[in-house]
Structure 1
Amino acid sequence: MIDLIPFSGQILCDFTSELGEGPTYDQRTDTAWWFNIKGQELHELHLASGHKTIHPLPFLGSVLATIDPTRQLIASDQGLFIRDTVNYQLSPFATLEDKPGNRSNDGRVHACGALWIGTMGQRAEKHAGAIYHVAGNRITKLFSNVTIPNAICFSPDGATAYFTDTDVNHLMRVDIDPATALPTGDPVLLSDESTAPGGVDGAICDADGQIWNARWGAGAVEVYKPDGQKVARYAAPATQPSCPAFIGANADRLLVTSAWQDMDDAARAADPDAGKTFELGIAVRGRFEPDFLL
């Protein structure tokens, strides 16, 4: 087991989300965005000023992608919506699946502008979810029988996708077409984490191709080389970190969301930073998220 590097960062936001998830950063406005899925909220934090806004949502949102300076794409339990950043209007864009008991979970935009987005049962029912590829309004199911889709991210050259089913805890990789983000082969095992503490949750891939993964239940962010070798473990101030995001003008800082979901009063008292959003406090070689291409 690799030694756990102590937390040396800071709390970016004291608000405790039941299920903080889906963080992303818009370098054009120096703004970090994330969701409190269970609270039906979209959180907006301007980094330079510290100004925070919470936007109520009429659904369970989990993933946000920028389209252009005035439009965003949001994935939710009710499908995909386009959000106007000026008047906050939400317009239906596409339906992912006809399963009323399901919601969206983890997802990320590829450099070509296509979105990979996972769905799951609201109570994490076995094999209820799937992972989809969204290119404009064309939706293709990639993988079925997924329980908790997570860790969706892409290599810097756009030729590899990573993902997991947290219920299985196998970090997977699959070759994809860099021009379309569609798989060109079958998924293969990158790292078997089924006997390690915690669950493989949200992930991002840095400029060197390393995978930064939030380890739900283990209070850590773990780093893998593209060959699956684990090379670092950084402590988080909350037991259930959920997803990282590169932030800052140079994408050289790391934001991590967390959650207090499923904690009773005693567990929350023992984990006072659960649900807060924090910065890891280390320098990273990150990348900015691409826009979703309509």
Structure 2
Amino acid sequence: MTQARIWDDRVCGLGEGALWHPGRGQLFWFDILAGTLHSRDGDTQLSWTFPEPVSAAGWIDRDTLMVAGATGFWRFDIPTGGIARLGDLEADRPDTRSNDGRADPVGGFWIGTMGLGAEPGAGAIYRYFRGEVRRIVTDITIPNAICFSPHGDFAYYADTRAEIIWKQRIDRAGWPSGKREVFADFSGVGLAPDGAVCDADGNVWVAQWGAWRVACHGPDGRFLQALACGAAHTTCPAFGGPDLATMFVTSATQGLNDGALDHQPGGGRTWAAEMPVRGLAEHKVVL
């Protein structure tokens, strides 16, 4: 099992949404409940605060991100820190917030929502595409693991509470097509899938909440290997670096028992490891 190292020492209550911007060669990630976006420019640590919890992003151009928040989508200007609202996301639901999300191969952005208390079935998955926001999955509790196969023919997503990752065929316009199928069922072993990303070979790397690792499953769902982290609650992996062979992993301290951090000083920090595989460049969001 490969072992990750601490890459950024800032502690996130709920680190999530790791995104490697391919045009900037720069990692971005979130501390959701703090409403904070983090990044690094060399050794300089950067942070920006939003007016609501924020959880996931996609890149629009070199200087601009789309950021998903509790009530809507934001256009974020990286050089200035300026924000502008692009559209609503369950803006009439004060009892929900955004969670995991990622851009698909044709420029759409998939984003999950969930109840503030993870109420059963209170969440959904939406797709933002060219200004339209359409709900594509309903009756989900904690949406996670949104990622896409290398050829763009399949999407993956999970319900962490159900401990299942599904595989969904998507059409050439990026919309779900046909019935989903179970890709990996962890309910029998008590593993909770969180954020995920595909590598260039089509393997799915999924962070597992409470398991101290990111697990790799082949395109057929079989477990292949794992990356160990010094944080129990790993939350979201992303491939980055000059050759997309570095895996970055966010983590969280939320939900840890009193005194648990005494035994895991890396909890909530962002991790990195050089990997034997390469990732895929993140897709651009088309507004």
Please report the TM-score for the alignment, with normalisation by the length of structure 2.
0.97
Q: 1:149-204: CA deviations, max 9, x gaps?
A: 00000001100010110010111101101x32101111111111112243100000
| Matching of residue 185 in structure 1 with residue 178 in structure 2 | yes
Is the Cα contact below 8 Å between 1:111 and 1:290 reproduced in 2?
yes
| Counterpart code for 1:222 | A
Question: Aligned to 1:174, what secondary structure does the other structure show?
Answer: strand
Displacement, 1:99?
1.1
- 2:284 aligned with 1:291: yes
In structure 1, which of residues 131, 144, 154 is the aligned counterpart of residue 125 of structure 2?
131
Which of 143, 155, 162 is residue 156 of structure 2 equivalent to?
A: 162
2:236 is matched with 243
Q: Are 1:279 and 2:272 counterparts? A: yes
Which residue number corresponds to residue 31 of structure 1?
26
Partner of 1:210: 203
The one-letter code of the counterpart of 2:120 is K
Q: Give the percent of matched residue pairs that are identical in Structure 1 and Structure 2.
A: 36
Q: Tell me if the contact between 2:144 and 2:160 (Cα under 8 Å) persists in the aligned partners.
A: yes
Contact 2:247 2:273 in 1 (8 A): yes
1:197 and 1:14 map into 2 onto residues whose CA distance is: 29
Partner residue in 1 for 2:12? 17
1:268 aligns with 2:261: yes
Which of the residues 226, 232, 237 maps onto 2:225? 232
1:149 is the counterpart of 2:149: no
Q: Using the alignment, how far apart are the partners of 1:104 and 1:55 within structure 2?
A: 18
Question: In the alignment, residue 37 of structure 2 is paired with which amino acid?
Answer: L
Structure 1 equivalent of residue 83 of structure 2: 90
SS in 1 for 2:260: helix
Q: Please, what is the CA RMSD of the aligned residues?
A: 1.2
Partner of 1:66: 59
User: CA offset at residue 282 of structure 1?
Assistant: 2.5
Q: Distance in 2 between matches of 1:285 and 1:197?
A: 29
Offset at residue 234 of structure 1 (A): 2.2
User: Following the alignment from structure 1 to structure 2, what is the Cα–Cα distance between the partners of residues 6 and 111?
Assistant: 29
- Counterpart of 1:268 in structure 2: which amino acid? L
Distance apart, 1:139 and its partner CA: 1.2
Report what 1:42 is aligned to.
37
Q: Which 4+ residue blocks in structure 1 deviate beyond 3 angstroms?
A: none
Cα distance in 2 between the residues matched to 1:52 and 1:28: 19
Contact persistence 2:206–2:214 (CA under 8 A) = yes
- Per the TM alignment, residue 283 of structure 1 is displaced from its structure 2 partner at its CA by 3.1
Deviation at 1:84, TM superposition (A): 1.5
CA distance, structure 2, for counterparts of residue 209 and residue 201 of structure 1: 18
CA distance in 1, matches of 2:282, 2:51: 25
Letter matched to residue 62 of structure 2: P
Consecutive unaligned residues of structure 2, counting only runs of 5 or more, are none
Structure 2 CA distance for aligned equivalents of residues 190 and 265 of structure 1: 35
Distance 1:246 1:6, change over 3 A: closer
Matched position secondary structure for 1:15 = coil
Structure 1, unaligned runs of 5 or more: none
Q: How big is the shift at 1:284?
A: 2.2
Instruction: Give the C-alpha shift of residue 145 in structure 1.
Output: 0.9
Whether the 8 Å contact between 1:197 and 1:218 is mirrored in structure 2 is: no
1:221 alignment partner in structure 2? 214
Contact 1:220 1:235 in 2 (8 A): yes
Shift of 1:6: 5.0
Conserved? CA contact 1:197–1:217, under 8 Å: no
- 8 Å CA contact 1:25–1:245 kept in 2: the answer is yes
Deviations 1:193-217 (A, max 9, x none): 1122431000001111000000110
